[in-house]
Each structure stands twice: as structure tokens, then as C-alpha cells.
Amino acid sequence: MKKLLFAAAVMLMSLTASAQQKAPVALEKAPHAFDNGMKVGPKKAEANGIILGGYTSDTYTTNGIGYNMNVNISVAQVIPASMLKPFDGGRIVSLRFALCNDKGPATRVFVAPVVDNNVQPDVLSKEVTWQQEGWCKVDFDDSYTINSEEVDQLLIGYDLQNVTGGYQMSIVEEGTILPSWVYGPLANDGSSAWFNMGTEDYGNLSIQVYVDGVNVDNEYGVTTNDFGEVRTEVNKEVNANVSFIGGGSEPITSLTYDVLLNNEVKGTYTADINPGVGYASPGSFEATFPAVADGGVYDAIIRVNKINDNDITAVDCKGKFIVVPKVVERGAVVEEFTGTGCGWCPRGWVGMEKMREKFGDQFVGIAIHKFNSSDPMFPTSYANLQFGGAPSCMINRGEVMDPYYGTTGDICNDVDAVLAVPTTVGIKVSGEYNENCTEVNAKAEIEAIVEGGPYKIEYVLIADGLEGSATAWKQSNYYSQYSQSQFPEDIAPFCSGGEHGQSTTFLVFNDVAIASSYTGSTNKATAPGTMAAGEVKENTFTLTMPTKAILKNAILIDKVAVCAFIVNPDGTIENGAKFYLQPTPEQLGIENVNNSSEMTEVARYTVDGRQIMKPQSGINIVKMSDGTIMKVMVK
């Protein structure tokens, strides 16, 4: 994936188990295209030189990243225990890293274990002087024996004199993307700590270690991972990513494989692997699934039988291949964790608005204001979703991501990816108010495109245009301490001097969850269950409008939508839809009175123009202190 580095304040957290910390220092990219790489062929696995790292090729970039200040820092990549395991018993003997230029020197390399989320003393360390573009390989005076049972992670890193505008650190989009960390005086108070650099979605830091003493028995070997679920339309070929781990002394440069559907071979293909993948190193390829004429759910196998055109014992990975006989509209349900007390949440507010504008009704946005209970929009009942921190979001209850940056630098790319995958269930939703607008009667029509389930269904009411004048409605805003030039144009209004460039600011909130089919954490909607291909079911549920005055008085009943979404057995959302309610003129009259707390009634008339002193059964014409005139239905 391609993700540009923005001149944005990266929210960083301490590597220790203590309180989380944020570093306001902006991580920047070089002011040139971030795709200029130097490539050399992959290293052959030798007795004294197996490479371990997020990626194992010789690639480095000549346009990198850095901090906009002169500061001495330590930068490191996290190698998890799961990646260390194939190297157990091996000894780390060397480390290499790459710099993009000669702007500032690296002065030391190190290896440090992480146990119980705490960085331990260095087990390997050596001083260096490296101030030029390219790779620096350092042989340690001692070695460190890997034991994945004794550590949670290893930090492999180097000390760097970061220079303003230097952009010395190389980062590469290859391999399995691992977190990168920085130690330095980057906290708000100028103190030093370990902070996450926030580069996981950009690529791997150009740093690797060499491991000696690992026995590689076979010249060629591979371990593939099951690929889950692949979908396409009838008569349409599709590609899917398959990940693997190299398992032989020779780097993998090509894989030949058969595709089996319901145990029948449907095609044979070869995938080139560039750069090559060495022993115990991660890799992936795009597997081709052939076009199929009949819709349905197939058991699928990718059977690898050749490496570099050499026969091997077949290696299988499995999954499901789903072919839909027709394409129906798919919605992207974006549930955002946010709140008025969250200072970084203006970024989420911007992201939600961006998705709303681009995708229209296919964007089923649900802003869940559960960050702080003082928020006027705090929901009393909703699904118990594990977001972690704010702002964050899930698309169709997939992975947690940033509601502005997503996984590629633009959340809209993630929504596009979801909408591009055909759905196995169609859903349409409608609804109407009861007479006095205290309840909404919702109805969903569900159509199974292929056999599946058992499914659940959830309903949510969302409201647009929510705002208020009380202090509780003010949105906290940490961006006010930064200049507008540091951030993208759509976030800049929240920076110093911008329209919302204050530490707290009034906003108009859209897509806010105001009611749901949950009571506490229990969903009360009747589940549609398992459905046969082509089966259609109707489902209904009655939602209760909010009664809390501060929220109730802010709701405009002609800006409320009912959302419904189908939940798969694994908890992900298969499809969702929304429908804006259409109140009657009489109901709008009632609503206008309910939401006119700052206005007073000055006169009341019957429909034939007679002034009356008190409400009279039927339609009343009411004149308010601000000059507005409205119809009100009186029982």
C-alpha cells in the first residue's frame, strides 16, 4: 500500500506500561516524491548472514522522514516474539541501517529486549560514525542469542543527530510492516521517553540484523497462511493477497500454484516475487482466482508446488471463494469513537465530513460520543466495541483505524476498498415517526444473495445538525496550538488563527448516534438467522427517541435517519443502509416549538385567523418572539 507521510502531529504513546504520552513534534517527509528507492538483489541465506527484520532486501529510500528540529534521538524497530521464533538459538552478530543522505550522523547501534512492555538494558551496543547515504553494516564485538520465550519483542535501532529539514531516516514499503519507535525529548514538557513514531501504515524503517548459527535444512521451502475469504461476481476473475514465510536457504523469487475449488483444479499460475524473500522472512503475492459461471460459496485451496521453478512437496493454504450471482448496493458502516472532551477528535470530525460528502448514502456514518460522559451526545446504550483510543473508527467492524488518515493516509481509500467488494446480503431500510415523534418504527428488507448466516441485525438512529450554546457542547481542540501550515487544508481551520482555532470550539455535529436497538450492551432486535440464496425477509424494530433535555432540544426531526445493518457470525458488518425520516408538516410544527427554548410565544390564532388566549384543539397558528410563524397540532 502507498501512504504519504504528512507534516502532522503524530500522537505517540509511551512504550512503558505507565500512562500514555503524546509527542506534539511533527514527523515530516522529505519535500520530494517519497518513492525513490535503491534496490539490489536479495541476500542468499548463508550460515553467517541470515537477515532478520521487517523486510530483508537491500532497498532503501533517498527521500526519507525526520523531525523539524535539531535533536538527538534513538530510533528503533520492534521485532515481535512471533517473528523471532524461527531464529531461536541463533545469535545476532551484526546490524545494518540505511540513511537517506549525509545531513546528520548516526552515532551508535543497539539491540534491546522488551519484557512486560518495558525496554530492558541494551544487550548489544556499539558506537559508529556514519554520515552518508546508504547502508551502514556494523559487526558487534559480542553476540546475543535469540530466545523468543524470554522476550516480548526486540528493539533494533540506532542513535541519530536529527537535523531540521534533514529527513535522514529511510522507510520502505516492503515486507511485514512493523512499528517504529523513537526516544528523545519529544513530550509536551520537553522530557524524553520512548514514543511510537506512527509509521506503521507508511512502511518499515531501513534497519535489519544478521543472525548466525541458524540451521537451514532445505534449499527451497515456504509456509503459506490461510487467506480467509475472497469474493467476486460471476464470470469475473479476481486477485487476492496470500502471505507466506520463506523457509529455505535460497531466496524465493517465484511461486507456482494451483487453484482448487471444491477440490477441483481450476487453474495453474506463477507469481513473481520481487524482491526475493529469504529464510524466515515474510512475503506475499497476488493469487489469481479464475472466473466462475455459477454463483455460490466454494471451498478454495491455493496449492504451491514449485519455488523458483523447482518442484517441492505441495504446500496448501485454504479459504472460501464466494461468487455472487448479482451485485446489490453496499453501504460502508463507519462507526467512530469520539467525544467533545477529546482534543484530537476534530480530526475525526473532518474525516467523517469528508466521507459523508464523497460517498453520500453509501456512507452510513455513526459518530459514537462515548469518550466523555459530560458530552451532551453521550449514548446510554450501544454495542460494546473495542476501539482503544479516540479518535478511531471501524469500517463494517473491521480493523480499528484513524477516521481521517485510515490505513493509507486517506480514510476514503479504505471506504473505497470496502465498497469494491460485492456483498452477500442486500438491505433496504425505512422508518416513520409515531404521532408525537417520541418513537421511530423501522423496517428492513433483507435479501440473501448467496446462502449464509446466521445473521444478526442492528438498528441505530443518527442525527445531523446537532449544536448548542451551553459550554458542554464545546469541542476540545488540541490543534489550536499548531500553525495552519503544519496540517492539511481541511484540518487547518482548527489550527491557530483558523475559524475553529481555539482550545475549545462550537461545532455542528452530524451522523451522531442518538438511539439504537441496544438496551445496555444487549441488542434487542430479532435476528434474521440463516438465509438461503435468494431468500427475502422483513424485519422491524421500534426505536425510542432521546428524552434527555439537552440532547432532545437540539434534535431536528427532519434531520434524523434510521440505519440498519446486517452482522455476520464473526461480528463484522456485511451490509448497511440508512433512510432519512420524513416528518409530516404537523410533526414539524411540534418539533419547532420543542426546539425554540430561546424564543417565546407572543400570539396564537386559529386556522381562520381568530386570535385565541390558550391552545385550542386542532391546528393552531403560533407567532414567536423572533417573528417566525408556525403550525402546531394540539390534541
605 falls in which pLDDT band (50, 70, 90)? confident
Instruction: Indicate if the pLDDT at residue 74 is higher than 90.
Output: yes
Contact between 369 and 349 under an 8 Å Cβ cutoff? The reply is: no
The predicted model scores a pTM of: 0.72
Burial 395-425 (b: 16+ CB within 10 A, else e): bbbeeebbbbbbbbbbbbebbebbbebbbbb
Determine if the peptide bond prior to 528 is cis (ω within 30°).
no
Helices of type H across 106-251: none
Instruction: Indicate if the pLDDT at residue 595 is higher than 90.
Output: no
Q: Is 379 helix (H, G, I), strand (E, B) or coil?
A: coil
What's the pLDDT at 587? 85
Task: Using the structure block, give the residue that is written with the C-alpha cell 451551553.
Answer: 470
d(CA 208, CA 369): 42
Percent of the chain with pLDDT over 70: 88
Instruction: Indicate if the pLDDT at residue 42 is higher than 80.
Output: no
What's the pLDDT at 206? 96
d(CA 152, CA 460): 41
- What dihedral angle (degrees, nearest 10) is formed by the CA atoms of 35, 38, 41, 44? -100
Q: Is 83 helix (H, G, I), strand (E, B) or coil?
A: helix
- Work out the average pLDDT over 107-125: 95
Instruction: Indicate if the pLDDT at residue 25 is higher than 60.
Output: no
Contact between 541 and 516 under an 8 Å Cβ cutoff? The reply is: no
Query: Residues near 3 by Cβ (< 8 Å), separated by ≥ 6?
Result: 173, 201, 202, 203, 407, 408, 409
Q: What is the 3-state secondary structure (H, E, C) of 436-468?
A: CCCEEEEEEEEEECCCEEEEEEEEEEEECCECC
The more confident residue out of 201 and 300 is 300
What's the pLDDT at 68? 79
User: What is the per-residue pLDDT across 352-361, written as a single tens digit (0 to 9) for each?
Assistant: 999 999 999 9
Contact between 314 and 307 under an 8 Å Cβ cutoff? The reply is: no
What's the pLDDT at 17? 25
d(CA 461, CA 428): 15
Instruction: Indicate if the pLDDT at residue 73 is higher than 90.
Output: yes
Q: What is the CA 169 to chain-centroid distance, rounded?
A: 25
d(CA 446, CA 540): 11
Instruction: Indicate if the pLDDT at residue 41 is higher than 60.
Output: no
Instruction: Indicate if the pLDDT at residue 18 is higher than 70.
Output: no
Q: Is 2 helix (H, G, I), strand (E, B) or coil?
A: coil
168: closest CA among 31, 12, 30? 30
Task: Using the structure block, give the residue that is written with the C-alpha cell 504519504.
Answer: 4
Instruction: Indicate if the pLDDT at residue 151 is higher than 80.
Output: yes
The more confident residue out of 12 and 432 is 432
Burial 514-525 (b: 16+ CB within 10 A, else e): bbbbbeeeebeb
d(CA 424, CA 322): 8
Q: Which residues pair with 542 in a beta bridge?
A: 441
Task: Using the structure block, give the residue that is written with the C-alpha cell 388566549.
Answer: 613
CA distances from 151 to 277, 460, 502 (A): 25, 44, 45
d(CA 555, CA 437): 11
What's the pLDDT at 43? 55
Q: Is 315 helix (H, G, I), strand (E, B) or coil?
A: strand
User: What is the per-residue pLDDT across 372-418, written as a single tens digit (0 to 9) for each?
Assistant: 999 999 998 999 998 877 899 999 999 888 899 888 789 999 999 99
d(CA 226, CA 246): 15
Contact between 292 and 234 under an 8 Å Cβ cutoff? The reply is: yes
Contact between 346 and 338 under an 8 Å Cβ cutoff? The reply is: no
Contact between 270 and 313 under an 8 Å Cβ cutoff? The reply is: no
For the chain, state the CA radius of gyration: 29
